[in-house]
Amino acid sequence: MKEQTYTVAAREALDEEMARDPRIFVMGEGIGKRGGNFNTTLGLYEKYGPLRLCDTPIAERGFIGLAVGAAMSGSIPVIDFMMVDFILDAMGEIINQMAKMQYMSSGRLRMPMVLRGCIGIGGAAATHHSGSYYSTFSNIPGLRVIVPTTPADVKGMFRTALRGNDPVIMLEHKNLLSNKGLVPEEDYTTPFGQARIARAGKHVTAVGVALTVQKCVQAAEVLAKQGIEVEVIDPRSTSPLDIATILQSVKKTGRLMIVDDAFEPCGFGAEVSAQVGAYGFDDLDAPIRRLSGAFAPTPYSPPLEQEIVPSVETITKALYDLVKE
Amino acid sequence: MEKDTGLLLYRNMLLIRMSEERLAQSRQAGLVHGACHTYVGEEAVATGVCAHLNQDDMVFSTHRGHGHALAKGVSPFEVMAELYGRETGCSHGRGGSMHLFKPEVGLMGTSGIVGPCILQAAGAGYTFKLLGKPNVAVAFFGDGASNNGAFHEGVNLAAIYKLPVLFVCENNLYATEVPASYSSGNPDIYQRAIGYGIPGVKVDGNDAWEMFLAAGEAVRRARAGEGPTLIEAKTYRTRAHSEGMRDVGYRTQEEVEAWKARDPIKMLRDRLLSDHTVDEDDIDNIHNDVTARVTDDHQRAADSPWPKGSDALSHVYFEGA
Ligand SMILES: Cc1ncc(C[n+]2csc(CCOP(=O)(O)OP(=O)(O)O)c2C)c(N)n1
Ligand SMILES: [Mg+2]
């Protein structure tokens, strides 16, 4: 094991996979010599050159559409989009083309490609740099949506994405990028659709996504002092979703709260509740609760911004209340 | 003109024409379950371009894609069976007219969305460059598509990376019923190439030989690593935008008749006969062959089995090894 930041672990996965497989290339703004806005490709241009670290104009729809054609024809493109908000212009290419291409070609075309970049509210980034959208993408058949939270997971899951055949959207919460963690030395992969128990507990189950996994763990630490043991589950991918692990946990705890930063209506929490309601109804001792980002564009000013996302305090209180219900 | 080339162009145009006339009848008979945009009048474009392509060159097409599919080597049987919704169709009944796929012969898809084919062709060009392959990619699209952002972004990306791509704009003067002169600041689309620093060529899209020559040069450039070319083929569709749609009120009968008089198949035939490249027998033989082929393919398509409902969820994700 070695200690690495999230960013470095992801970059190492990319570097090693690019060395293994000449079909992989990266496209994005400033990902060449500059090494990426978030250092995602630092040092790779010198190693792999301009054709494999391809700097693009500010044309997200264009280069994502191009990458679709590249995947269709035998390359493995990685789109480094900085902030997920920037690829909304490419939704048609993502949903109508990238996600549906294998189906439309009745399985004859493979679509190995990765769209990766940041999500998340924080740092007064305001509403065009704070999107999450994992629920939106998870609503689309044909896409894999992964939300790794630890350095070890981002490395293992990025590898899985680059060795797979389906289009993957890898969303990296910006407040996790400098987190450090232990990463195995060996060549490992982390499968999609397998949740991780971030902390074991027996009184209540908390399912987080991206940064809220960390916040749920922090809330669990507070509650542990009061004798409440929270089981925190990190689904790691929202599509496919490992509902089995969540159901197992609810069987034990009887109580479920889903905590996520994204918009609540028709969202991730709604999906988890529907499935647990359908398949784990008899195990529930209380109604399923959700704690989500406010249903509003993200405000800029720090006091406003803090108001609209679940915090460790609000999560702690909500979990406490749920246990007492 | 060489006899072989002349006859090849003639045969392929006729195959497209007769297949689509059959499809139009089939639609009236209820065999076609969805949309059917014919290419009647525009056959010279796909035929002239695809005559230069190998099987591993790639074509990315539009909603008006039967001609591109047939010219790239998909059989009339597979195209018809697809429109008839059958398992034997080139997309196993998943797609219909606007989702014809046969990557085995380089037909990378027709599309229900106007524009993305331009970007995808650039992407295939990128693959060829990345992997050092000698191939070219072709995007066929309409005048209407040329006003979509995909055109600007795709052509510019292909230009800056010098990708082996042909952008073939089939300017048939209308997008559905909207005149190109209304929706384009400059309806001479080939002139936009200047803005991207690549060659832009205007071609009589009803003249198969002219198309063949222009495409030949663009393919040569692409294979030589000299980058993309924008070809604007001035042409015309003589049937309605889509089968079964009304076709009045936006263009005059005189205009339609004037273009029918410039029918690309007739134009090539006259030329081949008048310069004695071929004789009437050659032409008759092709007509007999193509008629028999299309009749037979239609019958086999109409007799083909339906897909199984239980297969509807396969291929959403990768399933193979
Ligand atoms: C993005 C998108 N917008 C609108 C449509 C509906 N539509 C289908 S064909 C068409 C006109 C296309 O015109 P053009 O590109 O000139 O092709 P043509 O039909 O003339 O061959 C339109 C607007 C569509 N399919 N996709
Ligand atoms: Mg048109």
**Is A60 labeled as catalytic in the residue annotation?**
yes
What pTM was estimated for this model as a whole? 0.95
A188 within some domain? no
A40 within some domain? yes
Last residue of a domain, one of A149, A183, A217: A183
CB contact under 8 A, A66 and B149: no
**Is A305 labeled as catalytic in the residue annotation?**
no
The answer on A258 and A154 residing in a single domain is: no
Domain assignments of chain B as residue spans, ordered by start:
3-304
Query: Which residue of chain A has the CA closest to B130?
Result: A51
Mean pLDDT of chain B: 97
The answer on A177 and A77 residing in a single domain is: yes
- Nearest C-alpha neighbor of B10 from the set B1, B173, B204: B1
The interface predicted TM-score (ipTM) is 0.92
Residue A86's contacts (CB-CB under 8 Å, 6 or more residues apart) are A60, A117
pLDDT surpasses 90 at B249: yes
CA distance linking residue A71 with residue A117, whole number of Å? 19
The answer on A129 and A90 residing in a single domain is: yes
A189 within some domain? no
The answer on A68 and A213 residing in a single domain is: no
Assigned superfamily of B3-304: Thiamin diphosphate (ThDP)-binding fold, Pyr/PP domains (3.40.50.970)
Query: Which residue of chain B has the CA closest to A22?
Result: B131
Ligand 1, from B36, B60, B63: best to mutate by most atoms within 8 Å of Cβ? B63
Query: Which residue of chain B has the CA closest to A94?
Result: B116
Contact (Cβ atoms closer than 8 angstroms) between residue A93 and residue A81 = no
The answer on A174 and A203 residing in a single domain is: no
Strand A76-83 and strand A53-55: the pairing is unpaired
Return the percentage of chain B with pLDDT > 70, whole number: 100
Q: What are phi and psi of A95, to 5 degrees?
A: -85, -50
A 10 A CB-CB count for A33 gives 11
Q: How many CB pairs under 8 A join A and B?
A: 152
CA distance linking residue A289 with residue A272, whole number of Å? 11
Q: Cβ of B138 under 8 Å from any chain A Cβ?
A: no
- Residues of chain A with C-beta less than 8 angstroms from the C-beta of B121: 69
Domain count, chain A: 2
CA distance linking residue A183 with residue B152, whole number of Å? 44
Mean pLDDT across B76-87? 97
Q: Which of A12, A29, A129, A172 is catalytic?
A: A129
The answer on A232 and A294 residing in a single domain is: yes
- Residues of chain B with C-beta less than 8 angstroms from the C-beta of A165: 318, 320
Whether the upstream peptide bond of residue A299 has omega within 30° of 0, thus cis, is no
The answer on A164 and A84 residing in a single domain is: yes
The answer on A289 and A140 residing in a single domain is: no
Classify residue A13 by burial, with Cβ atoms within 10 Å: 0-12, 13-18, 19+: buried
Reported residue count of chain A is 325
CA distance linking residue B156 with residue B250, whole number of Å? 33
CA distance linking residue A38 with residue A35, whole number of Å? 8
Ligand whose nearest atom lies closest to the CA of A92: 1
CB contact under 8 A, A69 and B131: no
Mean pLDDT across B144-160? 97
Pocket around ligand 1: residues whose beta carbon is below 6 Å from it? B 63-64, 112-115, 141-145, 170, 172, 174-176, 241
The answer on A159 and A129 residing in a single domain is: yes
A46 within some domain? yes
Last residue of a domain, one of A159, A183, A207: A183
Per-residue pLDDT tens for A106-164? 999 999 999 999 999 999 999 999 999 999 999 999 999 999 999 999 999 999 999 99
Quick one: pLDDT at residue B321? 67
CB contact under 8 A, B161 and A54: yes
- Widest pairwise Cα distance in chain B: 58
- Provide the CATH number for the domain around residue A294: 3.40.50.920
C-alpha torsion sign, points A152, A87, B158, A166:
positive
CA distance linking residue B317 with residue B320, whole number of Å? 9
Last residue of a domain, one of A183, A213, A247: A183
For chain B, state the CA radius of gyration: 19
A191 within some domain? no
User: DSSP letters along A133-166, please?
Assistant: -HHHHHTSTT-EEE---SHHHHHHHHHHHHHSSS
Per-residue pLDDT tens for B277-312? 999 999 999 999 999 999 999 999 999 999 999 999
- Nearest C-alpha neighbor of B148 from the set B161, B159, B139: B139
Q: Which domain holds residue A111?
A: 2-183
Per-residue pLDDT tens for B185-223? 999 999 999 999 999 999 999 999 999 999 999 999 999
The answer on A263 and A159 residing in a single domain is: no
Quick one: pLDDT at residue B320? 81
The answer on A165 and A267 residing in a single domain is: no
CA distance linking residue A14 with residue A27, whole number of Å? 13
The answer on A172 and A204 residing in a single domain is: no
Quick one: pLDDT at residue B1? 79
List, run by run, the mean pLDDT of 10-residue segments along chain A (325 residues): 98 98 97 96 98 97 98 98 96 98 97 98 94 98 98 98 98 98 98 98 98 98 98 98 98 98 97 98 98 96 94 98 96
Ligand 1, from B114, B232, B239: best to mutate by most atoms within 8 Å of Cβ? B114
Structure tokens that stand for B118 in this block: 């331009």
Per-residue pLDDT tens for B24-67? 999 999 999 999 999 999 999 999 999 999 999 999 999 999 99
